[in-house]
Amino acid sequence: MGRRNETNVSDFILEGLTDSEEIRLILFHLFLLIYLVTVLGNAGMILIIRLDLQLHTPMYFFLTHLSFIDLSYSTVVTPTTLENLVTSNKRISYGGCFSQLYFFIFLAGAECCLLSSMAYDRYVAICNPLQYPVIMSTKRCYSLITAAYVIGFVDSIDTVLGINTLHFCNSNVIHHFFCDIFPIVALSCTDTHNVEIILFIHGGSTLVASLIIVSMSYVPILSAILKIKSAAGKRKAFSTCASHLMGVTIFYASMIFTYLKPSKSYSLGKDQVASVFYSIVIPMLNPLIYSLRNKEVKNALLRVMQKTGSTRNFR
């Protein structure tokens, strides 16, 4: 943030999604409901996995961190968005804007890597089940999750430092509802071509590399499932990765649509819809996808409720 003295901009104004007070009020209640479901869903998922010993496996270890990232991810964006929808003050400080951008990219990068780790976990479980306990050891799981956070940290630092080299003159109105990459770069009064190339290569490499790992994991997974002779066996094998595949598809589709393209093709309307989807809606969908389609999570919830009920009766 050392270049702040070289710009005339001390803060930014988040233009938001709409100027209509009626629509803003509707969006406020909708986003508030989504955020509450996000908090309850992800916090509940973490709590259930922690409390039920039968879920202390690599798959649910990764799922715990996915819920933590989604909860944090949504909290970085949604509260500010809710405040801007109901107040006239849409200003955010220079440091606050770049802090929001930093944590957003950090969590997004960590989630990309985490999803690829979850795909690898499913690959080992289905294609090499006898070696699964050895390959997916506790040490390996912690190494993968640490790598996800480190890569997210490096991505966010490089991106924020790259954008911070730009000069911002008199325009400080961000045509977006939070501090995202392209809307901030668009405000610069200097040439952004080189910075855009660096950001595109650096950010795109994490997204594409993780997507390649996911694809390379699921090709043999699907091949192995198709080779199972019994229909019941196929359904059981597919159910173990169907939730993850659905979550991966939704996440990567929205991210690729928004970020893997030149900033000149940025479309305010379309990109805002995509941004709402991956920053506010997806963190709510993930716990629903992984719980509603997962019998083990449902059974764990019943066991926790029964245990809680038994404890109260005993008292």
User: What domains, with CATH codes, occur in the chain?
Assistant: 2-314 (1.20.1070.10)
| Residues of the chain above pLDDT 70, percent | 85
Cα 263 to Cα 244: distance, rounded to the nearest angstrom: 30
pLDDT at 266 over 70: no
Q: How far is Cα of residue 214 from the mean position of the Cα atoms in its chain?
A: 16
Return the pLDDT at 309: 58
pLDDT at 293 over 80: no
Cα 296 to Cα 213: distance, rounded to the nearest angstrom: 26
Between 174-188, 203-217, 233-247, the lowest mean confidence (pLDDT) is in 233-247
Taking residues 273-290, report their average pLDDT.
84
Q: Which residue has the higher pLDDT, 33 or 174?
A: 33
Predicted TM-score (pTM) of this structure: 0.86
Q: CA quadruple 162, 164, 169, 174: dihedral positive or negative?
A: positive
Cα 233 to Cα 226: distance, rounded to the nearest angstrom: 10
